[in-house]
Each structure stands twice: as C-alpha cells, then as structure tokens.
Structure 1
Amino acid sequence: MAELSIKIRIADREYPMKVDASDEERIRTAGRIINERLKAYKDAFGIDDKQDLLSMVAFDCMVDKLRADEKYSNTDETVIERISHINSLLSQAL
C-alpha cells in the first residue's frame, strides 16, 4: 500500500505522520473527533488547560472502547451459542 505523509492538528499542535492511504480518512476523522471532544469539554466545563482536556478526552475514549469491546464480546458469545444450538439441531436431525 502507498504511504502518505499527512499532518494532523490536535489541540493546536500539528503532528506529522506517515499513514497507509487506506487509513488516511480514518486517521483524519479520529483527529477531528478528538478536537470536537476537546472543544465540548472546554465549553462544558470552562477548562483551558490542554493537558486536562486531553486527559479527559483520553479517558472518554477509553470508556467508549471498553463499552464497544464489551458489546462485541457479548455479541460474539450470543453468536457462538446460536451456532452451537443450530449444530445440535442439525446433529439430531441427521
């Protein structure tokens, strides 16, 4: 895959990076979401300290990730249970 050199601005700092072309949109979207969350926390709590804002966003992102992991884990378990049940039914039918 082709690598692109891009710059992402987060909290008024620019971060140059090399990314696969297939990941560019995802990375730019991630940067935009981080900046939106920074602004939301700044507006909601009146916090100007970038370190505090970044920490709050990092915490928020981790909670979102854990929630998604739990959801997918539960979904995986449900799928496995259903497949096992179907296999059992098929075995009985044969």
Structure 2
Amino acid sequence: MSELSIKIKIADREYPMRVSEEEEERLRLAGKYLNERIKMFRDQFGIHDKQDLLAMIALETAADKIKTEDAAQQDQMGLEQQLSSLNDLLSSLKLG
C-alpha cells in the first residue's frame, strides 16, 4: 500500500497529509464538504470568524454522527428481533 502526499484546503488554509491511496478520495470529499458547510454557515448566519464556523460545523457533524449511530443501533435491534422471531418460528416447525 503506497502513500500519497496531498494537501487539503479547509477554510483557506492548506493541510499537508500523507494518506493511503484508498483514503485520498474520502479525505478530498471531506475537505470539499467542510468548505461547502463553511460557506453555508457564513452566508446563512453571517458568521465570518473561521474558528466559530469550524466549531459550529464540528458540533453539527458530531450531532449527525450520534444520530446516525442511534439509528444504526435501532436497526440492529430490529434485525435481532426479526431474526429471533424467525428462529422461534423455525424451531416450532421442527417440533411440530
């Protein structure tokens, strides 16, 4: 696995990174997403301080992550219940 030297620009500042080829696209997309969110917050709320913008994006991203994790946990519990019901049904068919 070879590493690449790339620069990701976020909030008008470049960040040099060494990443695997597999990570490159994901990190570039993440940088693009952050810059889009910065622009959206700046335009929508009139905030120009970059630290405030990045803090708001970090908070939004953390909240989204928690929401996604909660939804995944609920999905997992639902699947486990369905599998348990199917297992019970199959067990009753074997005995019947």
Query: If the TM-score is normalised by the length of the shorter chain, which range does it land in?
Result: over 0.9
Match of 1:63 in 2: 63
Aligned match of 2:76: 76
Stretches of 4+ aligned residues off by more than 6 angstroms = none
- Rg larger in 1 or in 2? 2
Q: Match of 1:91?
A: 91
Q: TM-score, normalised by structure 2?
A: 0.94
User: Secondary structure in 2 aligned to 1:19?
Assistant: strand
> Structure 2 CA distance, aligned partners of 1:83 and 1:2?
42
Gaps of 5+ in 2: none
Q: Tell me the secondary structure at the aligned position of residue 84 of structure 1.
A: helix
Query: How much does 1:4 deviate?
Result: 1.2
Structure 1 unaligned regions, length at least 5: none
Aligned residue pair count: 94
TM-score when scaled to structure 1? 0.96
Q: CA RMSD in A?
A: 0.7
The percentage of aligned residue pairs carrying the same residue is 48
The code of the aligned residue for 2:25 comes to E
- The 5 Å alignment of 1:2-13 reads 2-13=2-13
